[in-house]
Structure 1
């Protein structure tokens, strides 16, 4: 089956990969919810409608509409599943991708830790500077 969903550009970062995949998962969940809603509507209609007294033309039209909705939604679900990461990749490729993402996560965490240390150092410098200025201000007012 040809994939009618546009292929997103290859993510460069873990954040981009996660965002793309979560968007696909959200779309998949919405499609599944839509399918459940269609089925519930059909069951409710069958339970609450006297099929003997319903106009046959209207009934046939409603059937065709429901079948169309189910088929369209099923195709959408199939495309979204096919677009999920790892579906068309070997186990070794998935492991390699996971290791690369793990390395990227580790590097990002190290950068985050360095940023925290840098921020703490800057905060100390600012507090020291404020303290010096406050001492200078208080000593100059007493002179």
Structure 2
């Protein structure tokens, strides 16, 4: 698997971890007021399943674990990014590298065309030999 595919997979996984973290916080929080003007609305019976609070210690431990996972995935992404080619090269260096690759490609194309001409020459010569052979 190439580095860009690994990077894309890691970014997708990070996005999934963000969603999982938000889902966990939304579903497992305890209803509590955070400020003096906050009010907890009454929960309708059909909405009771929306929140299944955990004890505070378990909820905090879950948040810590999710946070660590996010940090680890972000660090993995940083490592993948640092291994991408071209990060240490200036635009001028990358341009020079592209020009060198273009020259190599031109040389390889010329070799390919030479090989095709040689094949056609040999095929023509073989045809002449076969035509000159007489049956007994």
For the pair 1:54 / 2:32, whether they are aligned, the reply is: no
Superposed CA RMSD: 2.6
Instruction: Indicate conservation of the 8 Å contact 2:21/2:63, yes or no.
Output: no
- Check the 8 A contact 2:25/2:63 in 1, yes or no: no
Partner of 2:94: 98
For 2:28 and 2:68, locate their aligned partners in 1 and report how far apart those are by CA, in whole Å. 23
User: Structure 1, unaligned stretches of length 5 or more?
Assistant: 1-21
TM-score normalised per structure 2: 0.66
The offset of 1:85, in angstroms, is 4.4
Residues matched between the structures, number: 114
Which residue in 2 is equivalent to 1:135? Answer: 131
What is the TM-score normalised by the length of structure 1?
Answer: 0.63
Indicate the structure (1 or 2) with the bigger Cα radius of gyration.
Answer: 2
Structure 2 distance, partners of 1:35, 1:97, is 33
User: Aligned equivalents of 1:45 and 1:51: distance in 2?
Assistant: 8
Higher helix share: 1
Change in Cα spacing, 1:50 to 1:24, as seen in structure 2 (3 Å) is: closer
Gaps in structure 2 of 5+ consecutive residues: 31-52
